[in-house]
Amino acid sequence: DAKTTQPPSMDCAEGRAANLPCNHSTISGNEYVYWYRQIHSQGPQYIIHGLKNNETNEMASLIITEDRKSSTLILPHATLRDTAVYYCIVRYPLTNFGNEKLTFGTGTRLTIIP
Amino acid sequence: DVKVTQSSRYLVKRTGEKVFLECVQDMDHENMFWYRQDPGLGLRLIYFSYDVKMKEKGDIPEGYSVSREKKERFSLILESASTNQTSMYLCASSLPTGSNSRNQPQHFGDGTRLSIL
């Protein structure tokens, strides 16, 4: 799986959009970009994933650049409950059971400021 | 919503004890996973299972075993607990991979923080 680079920490004002960047310059053509987050003392929570096109769900939007070397996770109206560590992961489509594991990097610690 | 439930949030055991960690999911997922998470080491896969009674070793299976007798339940067993197994243990589940359902995300429980004294 390709390596990702994220800023170690970010702050965002409550009610504003939080934009979390991720660089994955070595991504290959069929690797997907996934985002998870982990709130303190809880298990990781799946947020969103995508391949080429921008994606949106009830939690967030994912914007992937045309060259796919970077992406941005957008939380449109951040609340205090969005304070967490956010992990960007790049992984191949899983075609055999040996590739199932997730590997988290150090992530971005997002703090929402009241 | 997917629900993955781990039997205990916090557990304290003694060295040499046999420890059972239980995980149940309610979404009829074929795949289930056990990870441990340690500061500075990230998430490491211990075992996973892609079907009832099937299991595969992950990256760090030594000292652990698993059991999957029913589709919804995946148990992690520490055969003889040691202090280096003090950790946060995370269970996850997902739909199967394959041409019709590739890239299914894994859904996690809230974890069991296990301390071995």
Convert chain B into a string of H (helix), E (strand) and C (coil): CCCEEECCCEEEECCCCCEEEEEEECCCCCEEEEEEEECCCEEEEEEEECCCCCCEECCCCCCEEEEEEECCEEEEEECCCCHHHCEEEEEEEECCCCCCCCCCCCEECCCEEEEEC
Separation CA B1–CA A75 (nearest Å): 20
pLDDT, tens digit, 9 for 90 and up, residues A82-114: 999 999 988 765 545 545 667 777 899 999 999
A97 interfacial to chain B (CB closer than 8 Å) = yes
Note whether A44 contacts B59, CB cutoff 8 Å.
no
CB contacts < 8 A (A, B): 66
What is the arithmetic mean of pLDDT over B28-52? 90
B43 interfacial to chain A (CB closer than 8 Å) = yes
pLDDT for res A56: 96
Separation CA B91–CA A76 (nearest Å): 29
Selecting from A46, A97, A103 the residue whose C-beta is nearest the C-beta of B107 gives A46
pLDDT > 90 in chain B, percent: 68
Are B112 and B77 in contact by the 8 Å Cβ rule? The answer is no
Q: Which long-range contacts (CB under 8 A, 24 or more apart) does B63-68 make?
A: B64/B34, B66/B34, B68/B32
A43 interfacial to chain B (CB closer than 8 Å) = yes
Taking CB atoms and an 8 Å cutoff, what residues of chain A touch B102?
A: 93-95
A106 interfacial to chain B (CB closer than 8 Å) = yes
For residue A46, the chain B residue with the least C-alpha distance is: B107
Amino acid at position B110, single letter: D
Selecting from B35, B56, B90 the residue whose C-beta is nearest the C-beta of A97 gives B56
For residue B6, the tally of other CB atoms under 10 A from its CB is: 20
Q: Is the pLDDT of residue B26 over 50?
A: yes
Q: Is the pLDDT of residue B36 over 60?
A: yes
Note whether B42 contacts A49, CB cutoff 8 Å.
no
Q: Is the pLDDT of residue B23 over 70?
A: yes
Separation CA B58–CA B103 (nearest Å): 19
Q: Is the pLDDT of residue B99 over 50?
A: no
Taking CB atoms and an 8 Å cutoff, what residues of chain B touch A34?
A: 105
Q: Sorting pLDDT into bands at 50, 70 and 90, what band is B103? A: low
pLDDT, tens digit, 9 for 90 and up, residues A59-71: 999 999 999 999 9
Separation CA B35–CA B92 (nearest Å): 8
